[in-house]
Amino acid sequence: MNSLMKLLGPAISIAAGFFGGKIIDKVWIGFTGQQPPKHGNKEAQAEATMRQVIGFAVLSAITAALIQVFTDRATQKAIAKFTKNP
């Protein structure tokens, strides 16, 4: 069971990161009315000011860090729970 949880942790983290990115995109569009200046969106990058690019980078980094912390904590709690109860 322990190895299953160790494999499940990264999968949950990846899924949470994917959905977190989608949420950040929606929040960005909601507040600015523009597409986020992401790596693959050259048009949005060209139209964005440096302040917007930095703001989006900071917002994305904060969200990614929070997702990582929360998923790590939840995974550790789940591993501890299943380790105590075989």
Which sign does the torsion angle of CA 50, 37, 22, 66 carry?
negative
pLDDT digits 0-9 by tens, 47-67: 889 999 999 999 999 999 999
pLDDT at res. 1: 55
| % of the chain residues with pLDDT over 90 | 43
What does the block give as tokens for 48?
């964005």
Distance CA 76, CA 9 (A): 9
Amino acid identity of residue 62, one-letter, is I
**Cβ-contact 33, 72 below 8 angstroms:** no
Q: How far is CA 69 from CA 8, 35, 47, 50, 76, in A?
A: 15, 27, 33, 29, 11
